[in-house]
């Protein structure tokens, strides 16, 4: 069983979210276990205080090391096998699909630490945290949302959580590309029709169309990802030539002046 423990000040909210839908059903089948732990339960003062003023002055408060450590010790004892402690922090490395795969493949147990206020005592980070992860170059009021995102991204890769590996292998970022467009019923909606190739039943042509759309979408929306793609295969080179020819024809059509109306 793959285990994820989340250290948080909002254990009920996080726990409820992680027990819904696909992840909830996977926990019922004992494929994964995701548990949220209330950090306040591990403080020694009657007020359940987990923060205090920062040394050196400044605004706000800092989460104290000792309640975090006690909570972390408890969570660590619950798992088996390789464990990884992650602090969700705007100072961390930006999380990617490759990180989700790494964490799933190399560890059996994740401990996700949710910070608040001005952050957490650096001494806890030095002693207990293995890496820091961020969702991007922005700041949130707490680490719960990033922790749930990381937990979801990793847990869905555990065998059996999704119906088939294709459920994630065809999706954006798995192979460095963005996913192709998806369509469902009805065949026409607001005057917009489903591409005819998807109605053909010709699986090889559909796969080719989807690959081409993934290439185009990655190139147009994420040129940074596109620059890293290996498109050297004969099949991809053929698709690139087709794309270039189709775009050339569209440019020529757009630049041709309209024929003058015939005069009576």
Q: pLDDT of 65-84, one tens digit each?
A: 999 999 999 999 999 999 99
Nearby residues of 72 by Cβ (< 8 Å), 6 or more positions away: 7, 85, 111, 113, 124, 128
Q: Where are the alpha helices (DSSP H) in the chain?
A: 11-18, 21-28, 65-76, 97-106, 122-128, 144-155, 166-169, 203-221, 223-226, 234-255
User: In 3-state terms, what secondary structure has residue 84?
Assistant: strand
Return the CATH fold of 194-254. Answer: 1.10.1270
For residues 161 and 22, the answer to whether their CB atoms sit within 8 Å is yes
Q: Which residues are documented as binding site for S-adenosyl-L-methionine?
A: 115, 135-140
Rounded Cα distance, 36 and 9, in Å = 9
Which of 199 and 254 is assigned the larger pLDDT?
199
pLDDT category at 259 given cuts 50, 70, 90 is low
At 116 the pLDDT is 92
Look at 162-171, 188-197, 232-241 and tell me which has the smallest mean pLDDT.
Answer: 162-171
Domain with CATH 3.40.1280.10 in the chain: 2-155
Binding residue positions: 115, 135-140
Task: Please tell me the pTM assigned to this model.
Answer: 0.83
The pLDDT tens digits for 86-144 are 999 999 999 999 999 999 999 999 999 999 989 999 999 999 999 999 999 999 999 99
Where exactly does CATH 1.10.1270.20 map onto the chain?
194-254
Question: Cα–Cα–Cα angle for 20, 24, 28, nearest 5°?
Answer: 150
Q: Which homologous superfamily is 2-155 in?
A: SPOUT methyltransferase, trefoil knot domain (3.40.1280.10)
Residue 173 has pLDDT above 70, yes or no: no
Residue 158 has pLDDT above 50, yes or no: yes
């Amino acid at each position: 069983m793959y285990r994820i423990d989340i250290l948080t000040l909002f254990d009920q909210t996080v726990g409820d979210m992680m027990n819904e839908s696909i992840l909830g059903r996977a926990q019922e089948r004992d494929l994964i276990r995701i548990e949220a732990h209330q950090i306040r339960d591990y403080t020694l003062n009657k007020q359940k205080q987990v923060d205090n003023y920062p040394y050196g002055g400044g605004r706000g408060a800092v989460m104290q090391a000792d309640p975090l450590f006690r909570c972390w010790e408890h969570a660590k004892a619950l798992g088996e096998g390789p464990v990884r402690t992650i602090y969700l922090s705007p100072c961390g490395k930006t999380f990617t699909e490759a990180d989700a795969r790494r964490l799933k493949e190399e560890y059996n147990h994740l401990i996700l630490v949710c910070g608040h206020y001005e952050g957490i005592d650096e001494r806890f980070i030095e002693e207990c945290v293995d890496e820091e992860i961020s969702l991007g170059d922005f700041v949130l009021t707490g680490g719960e949302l990033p922790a749930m995102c990381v937990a979801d991204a990793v847990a869905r890769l555990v065998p059996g959580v999704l119906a088939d590996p294709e459920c994630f292998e065809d999706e954006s970022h798995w192979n460095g590309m963005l996913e192709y467009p998806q369509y469902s019923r009805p065949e026409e909606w607001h005057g917009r029709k489903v591409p005819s190739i998807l109605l053909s039943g010709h699986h090889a042509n559909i796969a080719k169309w989807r690959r081409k759309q993934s290439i185009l979408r990655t190139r147009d929306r994420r040129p940074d990802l596109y620059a890293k793609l290996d498109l050297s295969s004969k099949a991809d080179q053929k698709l690139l030539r087709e794309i270039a020819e189709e775009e050339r024809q569209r440019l020529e059509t757009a630049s041709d002046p309209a024929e003058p109306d015939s005069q009576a």
